[in-house]
Homo-oligomer: A and B are copies of this chain.
Amino acid sequence: MNTKVEHEERRRQIAEALLRIADTQGLQSASMRAVAAEAGVSLRLVQYYFETKEGLLLDALARLGAQLQDRMARWIAAAGNPPTPRDLITAVLSCILPTDAESRRIARTYTAYYALVLNDPEALEKHGTGQADLLESFLAKQLRTARQTGALSPVHTPETTAALLAALVNGLGQSVLGGQRDGDAALALLTHHLDELFAP
């Protein structure tokens, strides 16, 4: 049916307008009218395709998560051939770091959502833990096989190391967004840490 695909296309168009505003001006500037203007549609249409603003916010957040997951999949696919566990870990972590335009946009937009979600405990459980825990378990899995291969010293617990790596890349990303250093410097710090982790 034509109408159905139009529907989804419109929703995408509007939701991405929201994400664009959240990235450039913050979520507090993402009013219904601003989103409508950014998407080039009337206010009524935003209401029509998303009954309520909360629905729009949630849908856009889900799309943002999908975009990040897409990016991670691309970076994983571009890893070494065949990729070692360390290749995969490096790919995923450096893909999260705000080094290029896309990752910067995603990181900024996630941060815009972060402050909102912190005060909405029910939405926190639905979205907050999911994505982050997924990353950690992926890292833990790769670290486990790396340890079995001998590439990683057995003194490093996979789960603990995974949690530390995830927190580290998050913190580094924050420092980049905060203007404390640029993406390349953060990437250098990350690879340096990975070198230390996998070396001895």
Interface residues of A (CB under 8 A from B): 24-29, 108, 111-112, 114-116, 118-119, 121, 124-125, 128-129, 132-133, 155, 160, 163-164, 166-172, 174-175, 177-181, 189, 192-193, 196, 200
B192 contacts A160, C-beta separation under 8 Å:
yes
**Contact (A179, B24) CB under 8 Å given A118-B112, A163-B189:** no
Number of copies: 2
Q: Please indicate the chain B residues that have their CB under 8 angstroms from the CB of A108 in the complex.
A: 118
A179 contacts B125, C-beta separation under 8 Å:
yes
Q: A52 to chain B: closest CB distance in Å?
A: 17
Question: How far, in whole Å, are A105 and B174 apart by their CA atoms in the complex?
Answer: 19
Q: Please indicate the chain B residues that have their CB under 8 angstroms from the CB of A180 in the complex.
A: 128-129, 132-133
**Contact (A172, B177) CB under 8 Å given A25-B119, A108-B118, A200-B200:** no
B175 contacts A189, C-beta separation under 8 Å:
no
A175 contacts B132, C-beta separation under 8 Å:
yes
Q: A2 to chain B: closest CB distance in Å?
A: 39
Q: A137 to chain B: closest CB distance in Å?
A: 12
**Contact (A164, B168) CB under 8 Å given A116-B26, A179-B129:** yes
Nearest residue (CB) in B for A127 is: B178
Question: How far, in whole Å, are A112 and B26 apart by their CA atoms in the complex?
Answer: 12
Nearest residue (CB) in B for A172 is: B167
Q: Please indicate the chain B residues that have their CB under 8 angstroms from the CB of A192 in the complex.
A: 160, 164
Q: Please indicate the chain B residues that have their CB under 8 angstroms from the CB of A175 in the complex.
A: 132, 163, 166-167, 170
Q: Please indicate the chain B residues that have their CB under 8 angstroms from the CB of A178 in the complex.
A: 114, 118, 124, 128-129, 132
Q: A24 to chain B: closest CB distance in Å?
A: 7
Q: Please indicate the chain B residues that have their CB under 8 angstroms from the CB of A170 in the complex.
A: 167, 170-171, 174-175
